[in-house]
Chains A and B, each alone.
Chain A
Amino acid sequence: MSAVKKSLVVEQLRRNQMIELLAQGKRLDGRGLLDYRAIKIETGIIPKASGSAKVTIGDTQVIAGVKVETGTPFPDTPDQGLLIVNAELLPLSSPYAEPGPPDEGTIELARVVDRGIRESQMIDVSQLVIKEGEKVYAVFADVSILNTDGNLFDTTSYAVVAALLSAKYTKYEFVDGKLRPTEVKEALPLRTIPVSVTVAKIGDSIVVDPTDEEEAVMDARLTLTTDSNGNICAGQKGEPGTFSFDQMLNGADTSRMKGQEIRNILREATGFTG
């Protein structure tokens, strides 16, 4: 899914160069190992959506749109609304993205972003019930990736979170047995701000917010999501490399620390204070 085409020789040279720099605590673009690129968040950019956000991290650009509709609850959770997160790597996002059904990388991306938001219990789905067992609100968060330059996991996650934080949805009620929209618009029942922090392992170094170039040579990736209380609520290691036990535990600390910084950026962009 990485948008950099891997060619053995150049990749290896680039990797060696990067490892040399990383050993001195530097990166190709001049950032420190634990520095994010500039994060820009705009909300409300698609007025037809219940909530929307465009997030830019470096040259990675992502738009998330939330649509709240009514639907039928799952039989095993009749007292809960639905939350469905999906992501699509658009063919216009990179020379290597192809139209067609999502590949395993895109499926993983969507599922990891979904997991982070779902498991943090960001949305109190028990409040999204119109009539138990029959009608609930279904919150769809769809993501379009517009331009790729690494760290799609975090960019996508922040876009969905910002869109959910700024969403307003139309309330429905049963009138004479029929479901009808009302004039009332409400914010979603929100409880916390989940923030995912992705690190890449390149050689023996750990860097946050990898670029496309860094992802092309990384050994492994670790995404950890924390909630507003600093609890860890979701995680995923990806790519064929490994992490030592210490790197895993330190990853949790990094995620908590960087998560707090980014949560403040999300609060500022959306006006949500939770």
Chain B
Amino acid sequence: MTTVLLDEQGLRHDGRKVDELRPVKIEVGVLKNANGSAYIEFGKNKIIAAVYGPKEVHPKHMALPDRAVLRCRYHMSPFSTDTRKNPAPSRREIEISKVIREALEPAVMLYDYPRTAIDVFLEVLQSDGGSRCASIAASSVALADAGINMKDLVCACAAGKVADQVVLDLDDVEDKEGSGDMPLAMMPNFEQVTLFQLDGILSSQQFKQAFSFALDGCKRVYQLQKEALMKKYFGQGEPSMEESE
């Protein structure tokens, strides 16, 4: 270990406090051809999300008679990482595509669109720690931008452990040199967890603390998602939209 992950003042290697989020910027409607799209910067992550659909399903036998199929592709650009990433989908990307789809699916009202497909494409242009959480935040905004019926937005944020201290929102360095990462996604108005993963050894107490840190981070990301949507649809400075629930 070369980096000091937590200094004497309790600050992290990039100067953040233990419960501080990296700077997040979300922009809605960035691609003309997509039905909905969003661009997110989450720390050094730069990710674009595009939604196509509801549309006809190809191949046809994949269509479901009573609801839409949600499909998701998380992909990292070859130039998004320190050393070039092979553009072919890795096993990691296949797994992440699956868990992102499963994180979004509870919020999307698929039964409103039988026999159709809704495609969510995620391109990680530059990766930092927590790219799956940032991807989920962007996808859910892009789905809303596409006008697809949703019960709730899905917000996401990770907590983790560095230097035996639970911290919010790990970046790349902390992910690699730290000792635990717990990405979490939820539907804030239903208080339901839609994505959960964990690696790294956490005591019972640390598990609870990390869980509560991550929930708190999710709620902050939710505010930023709403602000980004309001900015596009109501312009800046408009009276704030009431929460849906």
Measuring CB to CB, which residues of chain A are less than 8 angstroms from any residue of chain B?
Answer: 8, 104-105, 107-108, 110-111, 115, 118-121, 222, 224, 227, 230-245, 247-249, 252, 256
Chain B: how many interface residues by the 8 Å CB criterion?
35
- Contact among B94, B182, B203, B208 for A235, CB-based, below 8 A: B182
Residues in A with CB closer than 8 Å to B204 are 230-232, 252, 256
- Contact among A107, A119, A224, A243 for B201, CB-based, below 8 A: A119
Query: With the chains together, A166 CA to B215 CA distance in Å?
Result: 41
Residues in A with CB closer than 8 Å to B186 are 242
Judging by beta carbons under 8 Å apart, are B196 and A248 in contact?
yes
Interface presence of B235 (CB below 8 A): no
Query: With the chains together, A232 CA to B208 CA distance in Å?
Result: 11
Judging by beta carbons under 8 Å apart, are A236 and B202 in contact?
no
Residues in A with CB closer than 8 Å to B97 are 104
A254 → chain B closest CB, angstroms: 12
A73 → chain B closest CB, angstroms: 16
Does more than half of chain A's interface fall in helix, strand or loop, or is it mixed?
Answer: mixed
Query: With the chains together, A105 CA to B102 CA distance in Å?
Result: 12
CB 8 Å contact bits of B101-145 with A (1 = contact, 0 = none): 110011000000000000000000000000000000000000000
Residues in A with CB closer than 8 Å to B182 are 235
- The interface-forming segment of B21-29, B31-39, B46-54, B187-195 is B187-195
Closest 7 CB pairs between A and B? A235-B198, A242-B192, A240-B105, A237-B196, A119-B199, A233-B201, A104-B98
B176 → chain A closest CB, angstroms: 9
For A230, the closest partner residue in chain B by CB is B204
17 CB-based A-B contacts, threshold 8 Å: A105-B98, A107-B94, A107-B98, A222-B196, A227-B201, A230-B203, A232-B198, A233-B201, A234-B198, A235-B182, A236-B99, A242-B193, A244-B193, A245-B191, A245-B211, A247-B193, A248-B196
Residues in A with CB closer than 8 Å to B198 are 224, 232-236
Residues in A with CB closer than 8 Å to B65 are 8
Judging by beta carbons under 8 Å apart, are A233 and B199 in contact?
yes
- Contact among A110, A233, A243 for B202, CB-based, below 8 A: A233
Residues in B with CB closer than 8 Å to A119 are 199-201
Query: With the chains together, A243 CA to B193 CA distance in Å?
Result: 5
| Apart from A119-B200, A230-B204, A242-B194: 9 A-B pairs, beta carbons within 8 A | A107-B91, A108-B98, A120-B201, A235-B196, A238-B98, A238-B99, A240-B102, A242-B192, A256-B204
